[in-house]
Amino acid sequence: MLLAINHLQVQYGKQTALDIEENITIESGDRIGIIGSNGAGKTTLVKSILGLTNYKGSIQTELKKEEIGVHMQYNNYANTMPVKNIMETLLNTSIKKNGKLQELIYFFEFEPCLKKRYSSLSGGQKQRFTIIMVMMQNAPLTFYDEVTSGLDFETRQKLMEKLLEWYQGKENALCIVSHYYDELELLADKVLILDQGKVIAFGNKEILFEKYCGHAVITIDNSEKNDMLTKQFSHLLSPGHLIALSCRDVAEEEKIIRVLLEQDVNFKRSNHDIEIMYINAKALYYGGECVDSHFVQDTVKEGRNEEKYKYKAV
């Protein structure tokens, strides 16, 4: 175990920014995706672990502070110096004499940027620069806080693929804070969902998906919505930009797909859709309606007041 959190609370004046009652553990090799809306407590959690903010409770770890790496969302460097000089000064090394640094620069295709000033770099280049600096630490535990925020889709995808490739097979634990669900589906094997400072859910991605989404989820763009779908699946439809159909088993999935194919409707099938998992987990936590109620009713009976949770009839 690298780190354990027990009953963590952070107050900013009268406001409770973080109130974690559950035990959260981070193990070697973990890939944990941390998601939540603005103000959910994601960055506050990272700052607490790094000792950058006061908190009540317990954060247990044998790691020294310098053994925990962090890539914060916003980073500032001197704008008047070439990137090469900034890199060598902060790392106290020479690129020519440091094989590991050379490897990272080559891996992230950063050679053309070394003579540029930091202010001249694009958003993606700035992120690659900071990632190289963080990776040079080779920390047992590293936090990446909104590492692709503000980047276009193609740049985000390429950067995430690079991160995935670099850490493949390594025992370094990663915690990736992101509001891009596709990134977390690619990188994370565990998911921590925060909302208003509370832990909504934490655990293995596949187990959480089964708990909150059943066997599979079928999503359809809202432009595909028609009277047939509304009538056929009114008990399963979710509001917003997507129509989401949760399938509790293979038989139900086959039935839904057969109807969609007959109606020539484009759809996407997934057994790891973190966005729908996130929506359903929050709905269940606060007593609202899920995309589908089949798979959550047993969960409600096990540990919550069943009358408090009202679902669409199936």
pLDDT digits (tens, 9 = 90+) for 242-280: 677 788 889 989 988 888 888 788 888 888 889 889 988
Short-list 244, 234, 250, CA closest to 267: 244
The secondary structure of residue 128, as a DSSP letter, is H
Q: Tokens in use for 121?
A: 């770099």
pLDDT (average), residues 61-85: 86
Q: Where is pLDDT greater, at 266 or 309?
A: 266
Residue 300: pLDDT band with limits 50, 70, 90: very low
Residue ranges covered by each domain of the chain: 3-203, 214-308
Q: What is the strand order of the sheet 173-177 is part of?
A: 68-71, 141-145, 173-177, 31-35, 190-195, 198-204
Dump pLDDT digits (tens) for 177-208: 988 888 898 899 999 999 999 999 999 999 99
What is the reported pLDDT for 68? 95
Residue reference for tokens 């057994």: 271
pLDDT of 207: 95
What is the pLDDT of the chain when averaged over all its residues?
84
Report the DSSP beta bridge partners of residue 12: 15
Burial class (CB in 10 A: 0-12, 13-18, 19+), 52: middle
Give residue-wise pLDDT tens across range 50-68: 999 999 999 999 898 889 9
Helix (H) / strand (E) containing 145: strand 141-145
Read off the pLDDT band of 313 (50, 70, 90): very low
**Confidence band, pLDDT 50/70/90 cuts, at residue 290:** low
Would the CA dihedral through 79, 84, 89, 91 be positive or negative?
A: positive
Q: Please tell me the predicted confidence (pLDDT) of residue 234.
A: 54
pLDDT greater than 60 at residue 294: no
In terms of average pLDDT, the best of 136-140, 213-217, 257-261, 305-309 is 136-140
| Residue 29 pLDDT greater than 80, yes or no | yes
Q: What is the CATH number of domain 3-203?
A: 3.40.50.300
In the chain, pLDDT over 70 holds for what percent of residues?
Answer: 83
Query: How many other CB atoms are found less than 10 A from the CB of residue 249?
Result: 13
CA gyration radius, the chain: 22
Residue 19 to residue 8: CA distance in whole angstroms? 6
